[in-house]
Structure 1
Amino acid sequence: MRERASQWGFEIIPAEGQELEDAPTVTGRHDLSFSRRDTGGHVGRVTLRKAQFDGALRITNVEQFREALVNGMGRGKAYGMGLMTLAPLAQ
C-alpha cells in the first residue's frame, strides 16, 4: 500500500510510537474465492485477497484522494473492496 499511496493522493505516515517501516499495521487478512461465469459461458474461479490496514496518512493531492475515496482503490473495488474509512488522529 505504501508504494501505491502516491497514485491515490496520500502518503503513509507513522502513527505515534510507530516507525515508518512498520506503518501501516495489517489488522486483518483473508482470501475470498468464488466462481464467475464469463460472457462466453465459461466458469472461472476468482480469488480476492482482502486486507485491513490501520495507520495514519497525509493527503498530498486532494483531487486524487477524493477520487480514490469515492471510487475505491485497487482491483477488488468492483467486489466491494478497496474502500477506506477515515477518522481524525487522537490528540
Structure 2
Amino acid sequence: TAPKSNSVISSIEKAMNYIQEKGVSEIPEHLWGSSPDYLYPHDFPEHFVIQRYLPYNVDEVFYNPTEQGREKIIKERIKKLWKERYGR
C-alpha cells in the first residue's frame, strides 16, 4: 500500500484561504506573455531556475511536503533548489 497524504489538498486550501483573506495580487511582470525577462526553466540544469513566481507581496509557503513516501524525495529536492525559501 502507498502512503497517503493530504499535503496537496492542504496547500490548495491554504492558497485559496489566503486569496479570500488578502485578495488577488498582480502576477510578476516577467511571467506575462513573452517577457524578455522570463527565464525558461528547461534551459537550466535540473530544469530549474530561481525566479519569482508568486506576486511580490506574497511571501507565504503554501506547499509543505511530508516525510512520507515520495513526498520525502520532493521535500529534499525543494529544499535543495529553493534554499532561501524552504531551507529555513
Same fold (TM over 0.5): no
Bigger strand share? 1
Structure with larger Rg: 1
TM-score normalised by the chain length of structure 2: 0.30
Q: More helix by proportion, 1 or 2?
A: 2
